[in-house]
Structure 1
Amino acid sequence: MNNDRNKQIKYFLFAISLLLGTTGVLHAQQQTAEALLGRLHGSLRYSIGRYDGTTLLSEQTFQHGRLQTGGGDWQLQTHATMLPDGAADVQVVCRLAQGRAAQSAVTVSLDFSHWSPQHYVLVPASVYNGNRYRSIGNGYNPDYPRDMYYNPHVPLTIANNPRLSDEKGKPSVITLQTTNAATPAICFFSPEEKKGCIVLTTQQTSLGNSGLTIAENSAKDSCVLSISAPAVRRLAPGFGDFHPSGDHAPDWQAGDEVTLHYRVYVFDAEDIPALLRRFMTVRKALSGPNQPRDILPMSKLLQCATDICRGNFIEVKTGAYYRPENNNDFQLGWVSGMINTYPMLALNDAKERERVARELDFITGKLQGESGYFYGGITADGKLRPEKMHPDFPELQAMVRKNGDVLFWLMKHLMLLKAQGYGRMIRPEWELAAKRLATAFAATWQKHGEFGQYIAPRTGEIAVYNSTAGAIVPAGMMLASRYFHVRAWTRVAQQASAFYYLRDVEKQGLTGGDCGDISHDANSESAFGLLESLVSMYEYSGERHWLQKAATQAALCATWALSYDPVFPSGSAIDKLKSHMAGAVWASIQNKHAAPGVCTSSGDALFRLFRATGDPLYADLLRDIQHAHAEAVNMPGHITTNNLMGSSMERIQPGDAEGKESIGNFINTRNSWTETAGMLMALEIPGIYVNTDKKEVYVFDHVTARVVSTEKDVMVIAVTNPTAYDASVSLLSENNREAAVPLPRTAFVKWPHVVVNAGQTVTVRVTPEGAVVR
């Protein structure tokens, strides 16, 4: 009854405010927001759309806060606030004052003239550079047409995704739901005006998920960015195709209302990187800080996941290895083949060390081609697995990205063995294989000035050009250069890093094409791969321009991670678990789902960037990724995969790309790569990071820590474990001088651990000599 009375009072005050001249305030507030948009030749418009299903029948615009339609009288009230960071924050209350209105939705439109196809348009995890690229196929992982093979001039080519068109005389429209994006936002950069624009909104209103629309006119000289409550799309984007959305505009009764909240930033921006960097700073500004849950210590995760991997070691006709998939075939790199060996080696267990050695023997003995490049996989009975083949070109191909993974991770294995004191175990054949692969990459670079997307391991020729498939290669080349003392490989690494950054990030605002199941589509894996390379270039050279490039690349990575905790359908698996999924990493613009982690990496380049800059945004992003991963892990009382304890899978689905029934529901299977990513995070990211000069503590693990006292060179920290599992938490403490020095890749081997039992609090004394539990 109190709620009803409060609602009546609210409506009464709303009506009185209109009678007393709120329309004048509305006009002034709208002018404030429009003044900001005016810097980009933009204006605001509010309207009501009338639908028949998903077909728009009519659209009428509010004038001075009022609108009369055939169904009734509408009233609009806005409250706009100019914020210290230069943004206009706007809340819109739309109410049907009298009458009835069938199938109607509210829309706020930002109309921009002085538009052009050269504008860079971004919807995080969904649209990059407007997706204005050649499109092929009508479904998942389309076959490449013949003209994409052995063609150095092949254009960037994507699947059938939502996209704007370069074709004049034809309008182009992208219609999305907020849950089709990692952050509910539409952003653009105007190269002519040298300005950027970011429009943030909330996932949903009382009417459900909102809609995001980008609509260009036929001449491509004007564009409308729209937010609607609710989303009413004709078609919903799937995995490289579209299907009927099933969206529905509600019927309204007198007194019904909805509140729509959005925020607009318009700012000076020299280039696309400036837009990306600004986005990273404001992506949580409207949703507010997310609340990661501490539910699974990383030591417990490591134990469970390594137990699974230990049980997946098999001996087949071809050789012996840890299975990277749910069958006995072997796939190299990418989805964890010869990457899952690294945490098993880190266990420093004699049996697992010998198993890792057997897998390295198998890989270097069976999969390396005559050119030095590796084939991408092999069946249990010894047949090489072809990749992205065309019947007119029988030469077996392999992913460039997989070869980049081989070089990077093989070098890390060799370095780890030496750090553990087992350098004598390193076979000459392993080092020779790494040298041959690095030499092959160097030769390809010298000949073509790129690494391509697919390579022929027998001949060394690029089979498919373009993409950022070689994103991780420079990092591998740099490690090989230092290990083998070949300075020429350092030059290749630096030149390739600069090339990918300039061509793909600075000029196109995207990286893509390094997954085996997409075309050249923008994706997260290449973004994190290039971040690893750029951070590596900085660490080995000390040149600040690499640090600046890495900062931009980290901002691009942030566009792929959920910035808030989505609301999932009531009764869905994720809803029942009350999981907080901020930090889940979207796969690609084709594969429209988020995943628990980076495929396949710990993402520790973000931590190294945090150390180098002191900027907590990088640590926050990494912590979010780490905590979202734990939410997807199958544990007692927290069932996700219905599989082995500690298992996880790659689908966290906030949107309806796979159908409405898939939203918020896990797939009952497991993926080796997600489990590998979790193991790597447990190893390569310190559970607690302490800067003794700044007297600051940052916690990545699922514990809490607070500074109890600071006296001279001693910090006393209280560490609490709120989870149901005992924890062994790694701790890295250092001063400013030490933080300025890059960490060795195997630094985690020497990190001390703090044992904190479930529900316990322990006190840690941190001195310049290390950490002591007391």
Structure 2
Amino acid sequence: MLGWSGNTCAKQSELPAVLRPLNGGLQVSLMQYEGTDIRKILVFHGDVLTDGENVWQLTWNTKKSEDDGDAVELTCRLLKGRATNTALAVDFGFGKWSTDNYVMVPGIVYNGNRYRSIGNGYNPDYPKDMYFNPAVPVTISNSPRLSLPGNDISFLELATTNTAAPGMNFYAPAAGRSWFILTEQQTNLGNSGLYIFENKKRDSCTFRITAPAMRKSAAGFGDFHPSGDKAPDWSAGDETKLRFKICSKNSSGIPAHLQHFMAIRKTVTGPGQPRNLVPMSKLAQLGTDICRGNFIETKAGSYYLPENSRHFQLGWVSGMINTFPMLALNDSLERSRVARELDFITSEMQGRSGYFYGFISEDGKIGTEKAHPDFPMVQAMVRKNGDVLFWLMKHLMLLKDQGYGSIINSQWETAAQRLAAAFVKTWKQHGEFGQYIVPETGEMAVFNSSAGAIVPAGLALASGYFGKPEWLSVAESSAAFYYHRDVEQRGFNGGACGDISQDADSETAFGFLESLMALYRFTGKSIWLSRAEAQAALCASWTIAYDPVFPPGSAIGKLQGRMAGAVWASSQNKHAAPGVCTSSADHIFKLYRATGNSRYAELIRDIQHAHTEAVNMPGHITSNYRTGSSMERIQPSDAEGKGGTGNFIHTRNSWTETNGILMAIELPGIYARPGEGKWFVFDHIEAEKVSEGKNSLTLRLTNHTPYNAAVSVFAETARQAAKPMGYTAFSHWPKVSVPSGGEVIVQIMADGAVRTRPHKPITAN
């Protein structure tokens, strides 16, 4: 462990101006290993280091960047001799450290993961003290984390492939300052390592980058296993280049820190290079064809199959979400099927309290979730109930928009009102929504989680639909609470996934963004929009910022997959996924539309394209199921063993298929503001501006994919964009046909109309 007083070494003293406001310093060393144990540390006190017959040289190439940072290329070369099992390390040390500092490694560590942990594996059982206990502390799975007070050792070790953007950062409230270190995934020595060490007194902390990664243990899904990392041998003339960027900025709090991170997250790795593989309309057609074939009748009821089971579960990954795109087809058969599923859900799965049970077997047996032997009552996920309220309201709104309000069963509306009232009652009793509830009684079984992050969205929609202003008031109060506690104080949302503890997770983050944008939609208050921008930055921290390098022999490597935009699941489940579980994340598009900030458009474009990379297509095999299917694992890390890196699990997940369809229908293929010079392409086509007039924009659309495209176009004026977008706008977007291998000239009018000229085949250059 290194102690720091703000001093630096020789030539290196020119670098850390961005470190000094935080009592920081920099040190470069060589570490010699026996296995993964350090046996000797050689510190550079200048640009040349001599160790016996070995002579090493450092070369610095430093450039000041526009975002208050230093971009560095550090070259380490063995001039003379031979060295075995040696790695390069760059340490950034900080004195006057405090455990109040917010520490984040994007996609895996939030607030240092400095919380009580349980279990030693995937989805550990909750101990008895977590039930019916309002004072329960945040409790996470066994993952990399800085220690709680009282522990002698506090450190974590990661590889760059554990992260959404290789690097580490912290916010120091006492200094009002943020600090960031960003680096590349790998050097010529392999993937690099990221380490954070606190001393015993917790008054100093070191952030370390190594080339290559030299961890003792690799993090799994709630456990650890030997890393198998190996330090390289060096011969005279060998060298490695480690590129990194240091930034330090004034910050007013964690939300500002997160927004700083979003602004710079791609500056070292560079942006991803998305490929146009399959038009969104083709994805929608394939996905809905799969779902059509999975409608079944069981003893329990009639429903579209969830995941790979004949049993049924609500929300999260299936029920009452996968029905929405089927309803959007505006097809009489699927509309009748959706109605039958809604009849089944509202008649068989709602408890006496108004809350819904989360699971029912095909034989009609209600199942429990996260139960304890001492508490045998049936429990359900709060997150699932939040999904039910939100998506049930969207179904009702879409039916009315389609002109089929007359088929709405009063039972569906009654069920929605009972559920909304249950949430309102819980809020008034406890000032939170909790993580698990008892549907029969409405009791909160597990407290102190962000699992209810999407509930304010559901309450806002229900308030507008049923004319209940009190529900909107509760939606605002609860969202303000979750924003203050989870975003401003903790710097993460967590606990909404059904297979984790109360770990930080992406699903809750995106769910809360849905709520913030819903409140902006129904109140028009700018505070919800500004909070949504901070929340979107948190969501971006879960989203891979660049195209990771996968092993060339892996499935993704062979496909040359470009996975910028894949979304890390949770700090426990260390894999990325093709999309947001389970949502189109069109709230990010709505945020882009409301702010004009292109970073949001790029974020949702990245997510959609990474999803398409995981879709099973001819010549692009990703699952063992039919064309158009997909699965939830995109694995850049060795959390499932080195053999798992870059390899798909050959199954399918209906939720990834569902969010693919949702993205295809709820995101426009092209968004345009004719006459204002603003347009953005989300679909898998290329667009080139031909001309632009006062009220029109003419584009040449080119489709290089093997599939015909029907590209939806959403055009409007700045005045129209100032009004928040509704939840059924997608059903009114015109579509432009662009055949495979063809070009189309389209004139997009400010009133939303489109005019096309006959297509022609693409001419070769």
Is the shorter-chain TM-score for this pair beyond 0.5, marking a shared fold? yes
Name the residue aligned to 2:191. 209
Name the residue aligned to 1:69. 51
Structure 2 distance, partners of 1:739, 1:760, is 31
1:592 Cα deviation from its structure 2 partner: 0.1
Q: 1:165 aligns with which of 147, 150, 161?
A: 147
Name the residue aligned to 2:321. 339
Q: CA contact under 8 A between 2:303 and 2:340: conserved in structure 1?
A: yes
1:169 Cα deviation from its structure 2 partner: 6.2
Name the residue aligned to 2:3. none
Structure 2 distance, partners of 1:63, 1:435, is 70
Name the residue aligned to 2:707. 725
Q: 1:177 aligns with which of 159, 180, 198?
A: 159
Name the residue aligned to 1:385. 367
Name the residue aligned to 1:536. 518
Please give the per-residue CA displacement for 1:455-502, whole angstroms capped at 9, x wherever unaligned. Answer: 000000100001100000000000000000011000010001101000
Structure 1 distance, partners of 2:136, 2:416, is 30
Q: CA contact under 8 A between 2:675 and 2:750: conserved in structure 1?
A: no
Q: 2:60 aligns with which of 54, 61, 78?
A: 78
1:743 Cα deviation from its structure 2 partner: 1.5
Name the residue aligned to 1:245. 227
Question: What code does the residue aligned with 1:773 have?
Answer: T
Distance change (3 Å), C-alpha of 1:726 and 1:244: same
Name the residue aligned to 2:331. 349
Q: What secondary structure does 1:416 align onto?
A: helix
Name the residue aligned to 2:597. 615
Q: 1:414 aligns with which of 391, 396, 399?
A: 396
Q: CA contact under 8 A between 1:133 and 1:158: conserved in structure 2?
A: yes
1:268 Cα deviation from its structure 2 partner: 0.5
Structure 2 distance, partners of 1:691, 1:281, is 24
Please give the per-residue CA displacement for 1:177-231, whole angstroms capped at 9, x wherever unaligned. Answer: 0000011010000011110001000000000000000000000000110000000
Structure 2 distance, partners of 1:478, 1:714, is 36
Is 1:746 the counterpart of 2:721? The answer is no
Structure 1 distance, partners of 2:418, 2:53, is 74
Q: What secondary structure does 2:218 align onto?
A: strand
Is 1:578 the counterpart of 2:560? The answer is yes
1:28 Cα deviation from its structure 2 partner: 7.8
Name the residue aligned to 2:458. 476
Name the residue aligned to 2:755. 772
Name the residue aligned to 1:707. 689
Name the residue aligned to 1:197. 179
Is 1:274 the counterpart of 2:280? The answer is no
Is 1:374 the counterpart of 2:356? The answer is yes
Is 1:119 the counterpart of 2:104? The answer is no
Is 1:358 the counterpart of 2:332? The answer is no
Structure 2 distance, partners of 1:424, 1:539, is 26
Counting aligned pairs with the same residue, the percent is: 59
Q: What secondary structure does 1:658 align onto?
A: coil
Q: CA contact under 8 A between 2:583 and 2:662: conserved in structure 1?
A: yes
Please give the per-residue CA displacement for 1:581-614, whole angstroms capped at 9, x wherever unaligned. Answer: 0000000000000000000000000000001100
More displaced stretch, 585-594 vs 331-340: 331-340
Question: What code does the residue aligned with 1:161 have?
Answer: S
Residues 185-584 of structure 1 mapped to structure 2, 5 A cutoff: 185-584=167-566
Structure 1 distance, partners of 2:11, 2:250, is 23
Structure 2 distance, partners of 1:150, 1:52, is 49
Q: CA contact under 8 A between 1:524 and 1:585: conserved in structure 2?
A: yes
Question: What code does the residue aligned with 2:755 have?
Answer: V
1:30 Cα deviation from its structure 2 partner: 2.6
Name the residue aligned to 1:685. 667
Q: CA contact under 8 A between 1:320 and 1:359: conserved in structure 2?
A: yes
Count of residues in Structure 1 that have an aligned counterpart in Structure 2 = 749
Structure 2 distance, partners of 1:168, 1:90, is 37
Structure 1 distance, partners of 2:9, 2:440, is 69
Distance change (3 Å), C-alpha of 1:29 and 1:83: farther
Query: RMSD of the alignment, in Å?
Result: 1.0
1:168 Cα deviation from its structure 2 partner: 4.4
Q: What secondary structure does 1:163 align onto?
A: coil
Q: CA contact under 8 A between 1:188 and 1:196: conserved in structure 2?
A: yes
Please give the per-residue CA displacement for 1:240-297, whole angstroms capped at 9, x wherever unaligned. Answer: 0000000000111111110000000011011111110000000001111211000010
Name the residue aligned to 1:639. 621
Is 1:108 the counterpart of 2:90? The answer is yes
Structure 1 distance, partners of 2:249, 2:137, is 32
1:336 Cα deviation from its structure 2 partner: 1.7
Structure 1 distance, partners of 2:100, 2:336, is 55
Q: CA contact under 8 A between 1:71 and 1:101: conserved in structure 2?
A: no
Question: What code does the residue aligned with 1:42 have?
Answer: G
1:767 Cα deviation from its structure 2 partner: 1.9
1:742 Cα deviation from its structure 2 partner: 1.4
Question: What code does the residue aligned with 2:23 have?
Answer: H
Structure 2 distance, partners of 1:477, 1:264, is 43
Please give the per-residue CA displacement for 1:108-164, whole angstroms capped at 9, x wherever unaligned. Answer: 100110101111000001100000000000000000000000000100000001110
Q: What secondary structure does 2:19 align onto?
A: helix
Q: What secondary structure does 1:240 align onto?
A: coil
Q: What secondary structure does 1:93 align onto?
A: strand
Q: What secondary structure does 2:229 align onto?
A: coil
1:352 Cα deviation from its structure 2 partner: 0.5
Q: CA contact under 8 A between 2:486 and 2:492: conserved in structure 1?
A: yes
Q: CA contact under 8 A between 1:169 and 1:219: conserved in structure 2?
A: no
Q: What secondary structure does 2:284 align onto?
A: helix
Q: CA contact under 8 A between 2:169 and 2:181: conserved in structure 1?
A: yes
Question: What code does the residue aligned with 1:531 have?
Answer: L
Structure 2 distance, partners of 1:208, 1:759, is 40
1:429 Cα deviation from its structure 2 partner: 0.3
Question: What code does the residue aligned with 2:91 have?
Answer: S
Structure 1 distance, partners of 2:503, 2:743, is 47
Q: CA contact under 8 A between 1:32 and 1:80: conserved in structure 2?
A: no
1:66 Cα deviation from its structure 2 partner: 1.3
Structure 1 distance, partners of 2:21, 2:576, is 35
Q: What secondary structure does 2:480 align onto?
A: helix
Structure 2 distance, partners of 1:400, 1:591, is 20
Q: What secondary structure does 1:344 align onto?
A: helix
Q: CA contact under 8 A between 1:149 and 1:463: conserved in structure 2?
A: yes
Is 1:604 the counterpart of 2:586? The answer is yes
Name the residue aligned to 1:87. 69
Distance change (3 Å), C-alpha of 1:286 and 1:431: same
Q: CA contact under 8 A between 2:449 and 2:494: conserved in structure 1?
A: yes
Question: What code does the residue aligned with 1:144 have?
Answer: Y
Name the residue aligned to 2:760. none
Please give the per-residue CA displacement for 1:48-107, whole angstroms capped at 9, x wherever unaligned. Answer: 000001001111111211112246111111111111221101111001111111100000
Structure 2 distance, partners of 1:711, 1:81, is 42
Question: What code does the residue aligned with 2:317 have?
Answer: V
Name the residue aligned to 1:5. none
Structure 2 distance, partners of 1:335, 1:166, is 34
More displaced stretch, 559-568 vs 536-545: 536-545
Gaps of 5+ in 2: 1-7, 758-765
Q: CA contact under 8 A between 1:71 and 1:102: conserved in structure 2?
A: no
Structure 2 distance, partners of 1:160, 1:186, is 20
Q: CA contact under 8 A between 2:106 and 2:164: conserved in structure 1?
A: yes
Structure 2 distance, partners of 1:634, 1:187, is 37
Q: CA contact under 8 A between 2:9 and 2:27: conserved in structure 1?
A: no
More displaced stretch, 165-174 vs 144-153: 165-174
